[in-house]
Amino acid sequence: MASATTTKGAAGRGTLNSVLFYVFLVSFVLVSVFPLLWIFKMSIVTKTELFASPPTILPQTPTSESYGTIFGDPVFQQALVNSTIISSVTTVICLFFGSITAYAIARLRFRFKGTVMTLILAISFFPAVAIIAPLFIQFAQVGLIDTYASVIITDTVFALPLTIWLLVAFFRELPVDLEDAAKVDGATTIQAFRKVIVPLAAPGVFTTAILTFIHAWNEFLFANTFLLEPAKQPVTVAIPNFATVYTVDYGAQAAAAVVVTVPLVILVLIFQRRIVSGLTAGAVKG
Amino acid sequence: MKKGVSVASASTEKKGRGWFKEEFGNPERRTAYYMVLPSLLIIVLVAFFPILYGIALSLTDSTISGFGSFIGFENYTDMFQDSDFGEGLYNTVIFTVVSVALEFFIGLGIALAINRAFRGRGLVRAAVLVPWAFPTVIAAVMWRLMFQSQVGIVQYVADTLGIISEPILSSRTLLLIGVILVDVWKTTPFVALLLLAGLQVIPGEVYEAARVDGANWMQRFFRITLPLLKGAILVAVLFRTLDAYRVYDLFWVLGNRELASLSTYVYEGVRISQLQFGPGNAAAVFIFVTAFLIALFFIRVLGMRTSVEEE
C-alpha cells in the first residue's frame, strides 16, 4: 500500500484518468458480483417472471416460494448437515496436525526440513483424480464407502498443505524471544508451543481455520466418488442433482445455490483483510 | 538445510552416519521429527501409497471389485486408441492454455491498475474474493442456469445481439468456451491478488531511481516490474496451470457429464462404466505423470523458487 508514491507524478494528468480508473473499477466489481446478484434475483421471482422474455432486470414481485421448496426438501436439509459435519471435522483435524507440523517447520532446526516441505507442497500439485480408483478399492475393503470418514480422510490430506503453509507463515511472524524466555524458565518445546505460541497465533489460526473450512466445504470429487447414498452427500454433490429433481424449477435450483454460497461470501467479506494476507503469504516470499 | 547454525554439534560431526546421531541424539531435533511425522504419515498413506497402487492397477486387467493379472501396457494402448480420451485430452489442453493465459494477462492488468492508494480499496478487495469463495460446483450450477435456453440471461443477450444461433448447452464448442469463461471469471481475481501482493513488495525507490535516469513507462515495466515480479508470476501461473489441468468439477457439472476432460475420462472409467476401468486407470497415471512433468518444468526450466528454501 506504500506504493502510492509511484503514481503521484501522474496525478497532474487530471480528472480524466481518475474517471477512467473508476469506470474500470466499477465494471470489474460488477462483473465479479453479477452472477451472484442475478442468481439471487432468479431465486426470489415468481415462475412467470422467471420465464418472461425479455427478462426483467429488477424483481417485480419478490417471493420466498423457491426457498420454501428448497428448505422443505429433506435431501437438501440433510446435505447441509452433511457438509457442515464433514467440513468442521476436517478443519479441526487439519488444524491439530497442521499446527504441530507447522510449528516444527517454522521454529525448529532439522536436517530434512526441505524434503518434508517439498513432500507437503507436492500434495497441492497432486491430481486427486489419479487416486480415486485405488482409494475406492481400499476404502471398500475396510467398509469406509458411504461414511463421512472416507471424505474427511481425503479432504484432510488435500487441505493439509494449505493449513500448514498458512500456519508456517503466521508462526514465523511471532517473536522468538517469548518462547526462548519460556524455555529459559524451564518449559519444554511442547509446553512453549502450547502455552506461548498457540494463544499468540490465535488470529492466524482462525484465518487458517476459515480457509480450510472453505476448502472442505467446496470439495466435490471425493464426495462424488465415495458417497453414493444421498443421505450422506454434501451440498456440492446434492445441488447438481437438483437439475434432474427440479427439472424446470430453475428458481429452486437458484435458491439452493444462494443458500450454500451466501454464508461463505459473508465469512469472506468480514475477514477479507486477513484472508488476503493469508492467501498471498506464500507467493511473495518465493 | 541450514548449515553452521548449531556450532556445538557441527564440531563433533563425523563423516558417514554421523548425521544420524546428530539428528536423533539431539532432543530438540528429535521432537521436530515427532512433530512432522503424523502429517507426513497420512500424506504418504492416503496420497503416495495409492498412486503406487494405481500404477499397479493400470498394468493389470483389474476391475473395481478385484485385482487382476499383469497385462503390460495394454490399458495404455486401449486408452490412446479411445476417441473419448483424445477428446478429453484436447479439451483439457485447450482449456488449460486459454484460461491460464487469459487469467494471467487480465490479472496482471488488474493488479497494475489497482496497485495504488484509492478510495474504495476495501470494496474492490471484497469483490475480488466473491468469485473465489464460490464452490466451483455451485458456480457451475449458477452459470448453467444463466446459459440455459429458456431462462438464461447469457443465452438471451447472445441471442438478442445475434452472436450465436444455437443453444449454448447443446453445443460442445460453446460449452468449452463457456467453461473457459467461467474459470476466467472465477480465478482471475485471485491471480490479480497474488500478482498485486508481488507488486507491493517492489520498493518505490527503484522506480524513482529509474525515472530519474530517464526510463520511460515501457522500460520501467520490462526492466523493473517484470523481472522483480517473476517469482510471483511463476507461482501464480504454476498453481493455475496444474489446477486447470486437473479440472473436473466445472466440466462435469457445467457440461452435465457430456463435456470430456482428462479427469472426467478417469472418473467415467473407474466409477461409472464397468468396462473402461483399465483405460481409466491408465489415464489416472497419465494425468499424474504429466502433471508432475509440468511442475518439474516450472521449477527446473523456468527457475521457480518455492518458498521452501527461504530466509
**pLDDT in the model for residue A5:** 42
Q: How many helices (H) and strands (E) does chain A have?
A: 17, 0
**pLDDT in the model for residue B89:** 96
Q: CA-based diameter of chain B, in Å?
A: 80
**pLDDT in the model for residue A166:** 87
Region of poorest pLDDT, from A9-18, A234-243, B28-37, B268-277: A9-18
Query: What residue ranges do the domains of chain B occupy?
Result: 7-58, 77-309
**pLDDT in the model for residue B154:** 85
Dig out the grid coordinates for A143 from the structure.
467398509
Using one digit for the tens of pLDDT, what is the confidence trace for A196-227? 777 788 888 888 999 899 999 999 999 999 99
Using one digit for the tens of pLDDT, what is the confidence trace for B97-146? 999 999 999 999 988 888 887 887 777 877 888 888 888 999 998 898 88
- Domain A67-285 - what CATH class? mainly alpha
DSSP string, B68-137: --B-TTHHHHHHHH-HHHHHHHHHHHHHHHHHHHHHHHHHHHHHHHH-S--TTHHHHHHHHHHHHHS-HH
**pLDDT in the model for residue A129:** 93
Q: Do B31 and A190 touch (CB under 8 A)?
A: yes
State percent of chain B over pLDDT 70. 92
Question: Rounded distance, CA A42 to CA A60, Å?
Answer: 11
B165 versus A36: which is more confidently predicted? A36
Residues of A in contact with B206 (CB under 8 A): none
Query: What residue ranges do the domains of chain A occupy?
Result: 12-63, 67-285
For B124, the closest chain A residue by CA position comes to A29
B105 and chain A: CB distance < 8 Å anywhere? no
Q: Do A221 and B204 touch (CB under 8 A)?
A: no
A147 band by pLDDT with thresholds 50, 70 and 90: very high
Residues of B in contact with A283 (CB under 8 A): 194, 197-198, 231-232, 235-236
Min Cα distance B55 → chain A (Å) is 9
Dig out the grid coordinates for B67 from the structure.
485385482
Q: Do B123 and A243 touch (CB under 8 A)?
A: no
Count of pairs with CB atoms under 8 A, one residue in A, one in B: 326
Min Cα distance A274 → chain B (Å) is 11
Spell out, as residue ranges, where chain B has pLDDT lower than 70. Answer: 1-17, 304-311
**pLDDT in the model for residue B69:** 83
**pLDDT in the model for residue B2:** 39
Using one digit for the tens of pLDDT, what is the confidence trace for A48-86? 888 877 777 788 888 888 899 889 999 999 999 999 999
Is residue A286's pLDDT more than 60?
A: no
Using one digit for the tens of pLDDT, what is the confidence trace for A82-124? 999 999 999 999 999 999 999 899 888 888 888 888 888 888 8
- Domain B77-309 - what CATH class? mainly alpha
**Is residue B288 classed as helix, strand or coil in its secondary structure?**
helix
Is residue A12's pLDDT more than 70?
A: no
Residues of B in contact with A279 (CB under 8 A): 190, 193-194
Q: Do B120 and A25 touch (CB under 8 A)?
A: yes
What is this structure's pTM?
0.87
